[in-house]
Structure 1
């Protein structure tokens, strides 16, 4: 694992120390890594949303579409069911 040193104003260091303590992180590094992971996920989601907004719809999203979707979700959440990929 690589090491990175950062400089922070005292107010930010205090905030991080409080978050580490209150949220149960072992170290400030764990907290910062979690923040970075969340930012990566946010950027990935944004990219997917933009790609979806630019794409053409595959089919009409009408009541029939949502009815089938609800049925698929219901079936995949039953105990012992296998989710198709």
Structure 2
């Protein structure tokens, strides 16, 4: 994958590397992508929480709790790259 940047952005990235914050341009880009993934996941969670707060209350069955727990444990066990 090739990425073209205007000179000011390239100089900024090079400065980040020169300061020792990152060892390469690839590491810097990977970090940006991870941060974007995290931000989007947090936005999705916030949206779902707000939807839940605005929905009518209902009791969950034992089977529903079990299903939720199973899915959560599966997500924890799945490596990030496979999600």
Q: Shorter-chain TM-score: what band?
A: 0.5 to 0.7
Structure number with higher helix proportion:
2
The equivalent position to 1:32 in structure 2, one of 26, 29, 34, is: 29
Equivalent residue pairs, number:
55
- Length-normalised TM-score, structure 2: 0.60
Rate the CA distance shift 1:18–1:50 in 2: closer, same or farther, 3 A: same
Counterparts in 2 of 1:1-85, with a 5 A limit?
4-56=1-53
- Length-normalised TM-score, structure 1: 0.59
CA RMSD, aligned part only?
Answer: 1.6
Per the TM alignment, residue 21 of structure 1 is displaced from its structure 2 partner at its CA by 1.9
Per the TM alignment, residue 24 of structure 1 is displaced from its structure 2 partner at its CA by 2.6
